[in-house]
Structure 1
Amino acid sequence: MRATLAIALTLATTSPAFAAGGGWNLGNTDFVVILAFLLFIGILLAAKVPSLIGKQLDNRADSIKSELEEARALREEAQTLLASYERKQQDVQAQAERIVANARDEAAAAAEQAKADLAASIARRLTAAEEQIASAEASAVKEVRDRAITIAVEVADQVISKQMTAADANKLIDAAIQDVEAKLH
């Protein structure tokens, strides 16, 4: 404090107003202002205002430091949460891709199964149609044979009835009876 007072007095005595002869006169406004300023500084120093201001600034700095640390901790927590959510999003994305891939595979398998079922159904229907055609063909052949036999019998009956006499008919009947008896015994 003494050093500050000495510096202030030195500056006051070397001022142009003091050199002009104003000296220690209270009528000199420059001197009064310097004196009031020095008195004000002295009161501030005596009341330990700089140390109070320093404490206030230190407290404020500590408060800011704690807020910064809290903000840093919150930021780290937010980054951790963000990373966690990003991992979850990636997991969900991967799961969605797996679900889509499974759905595509199942759809492809279902399509292949449907193709196989359709091919089997077509094969069954073709087989059934071929069987129906074969049956109809066999029926038609049988019907044609039966009709041919009927016509042949009718023609043979007409031919035989025109050419055969009663005696020839009796001979044929007797021969047929003997033939049947021989086969039965």
Structure 2
Amino acid sequence: MALDATFWATIGLIVFVAILIYMKVPGMLSRALDQRAERIRNELDEARRLREDAQQLLAEYQRKRQEAEKEAEDIVNAARREAELIAQEARERTEDYVARRTALAEQKIAQAERDAVSEVRSSAVDIAIEAARRLLTEKVDVKTTHDLFKSSVQQVKSKLN
């Protein structure tokens, strides 16, 4: 048998494999691969858990957003109702104010009419008295005046007794 290079390469390979087996390199490789597989599995589990947490957070935030939108809508509706009530109250107050001002104006007009009628009557009485005085001074002489005075005094005396 010839000891050529192939033979020695094969012997070297066998010795190398034997040393690797003796040093338990395949077990270390297997453990390293198992550890790496376990680490990858843990990372995948962690990623899955994080994804589920993220989905739960997303669902929670969507629910909160919907609640906030509903609350905002309720606030807007309440504000609209309140604005309508305020507007209605303002209309009622305005109508009441106008009615009171109208009644006050009508009272002032009625008072002004009464004052005017009273003033006209007063002026008419004054004019009538002045006219009667002029007529009496023109038509009645001294003797008639004296007789009228006496008769008036008699009438007063008789009414007082």
TM range (shorter): 0.7 to 0.9
* CA displacement at 1:139 relative to structure 2: 0.5
Output the amino acid matched with 1:122: V
Q: Could you tell me how far apart the structure 1 residues matched to 2:62 and 2:139 are?
A: 112
Aligned partners of 2:93, 2:17: CA distance in 1, in Å? 105
Q: Using the TM superposition, name which of 139-148 and 153-162 deviates more.
A: 153-162
Separation (CA, whole Å) in 1 of partners of 2:19 and 2:131:
161
User: 1:102, 1:155 → 2: CA distance?
Assistant: 78
- Give the direction of change, closer, same or farther, for the CA distance of 1:173–1:133 in structure 2 (3 Å limit): farther
TM-score, structure 1 length as denominator?
Answer: 0.70
- Say if 2:70 is the partner of 1:99: no
Alpha-carbon distance between aligned partners in 1 of 2:50 and 2:126, rounded to the nearest angstrom: 110
Task: Tell me if 1:50 matches 2:26.
Answer: yes
Corresponding position of 1:6: none
2:126 match? 150
1:174 equivalent in alignment to 2:151: yes
- Give identity over the alignment, percent: 38
Cα distance in 1 between the residues matched to 2:157 and 2:71: 90
CA 1:167–1:34 in structure 2 vs 1: closer, same or farther (change >3 Å)?
Answer: farther
| Counterpart Cα distance in 2 of 1:54 and 1:150 | 140
Aligned ranges 1:14-93 → 2 under 5 Å: 25-27=2-4, 29-93=5-69
Matched residue, 2:103: 127
Q: 1:111 aligns with which of 79, 87, 99?
A: 87
Structure 1 residue 103: Cα displacement: 1.6
Tell me, in whole angstroms, the C-alpha distance in 2 between the residues paired with 1:181 and 1:26.
Answer: 189
Q: Distance in 1 between matches of 2:26 and 2:66?
A: 58
- TM superposition score normalised by structure 2: 0.78
Greater C-alpha Rg: 1
Flag structure 1 segments of 5+ consecutive residues without an equivalent.
1-23
User: What amino acid maps onto 2:81 in structure 1?
Assistant: D
C-alpha distance in structure 2 between counterparts of 1:89 and 1:128, whole Å: 57
Partners in 2 of 1:37 and 1:174 — Cα distance?
178
Q: Decide which moves more: 127-136 or 164-173.
A: 164-173
* Higher RCO structure, 1 or 2 (CA under 8 Å, sep 6+): 1
1:159 and 2:145 correspond: no
Cα shift readout 1:86-123 (whole Å, capped 9, x = no counterpart): 22222222212212221222122112211211121121
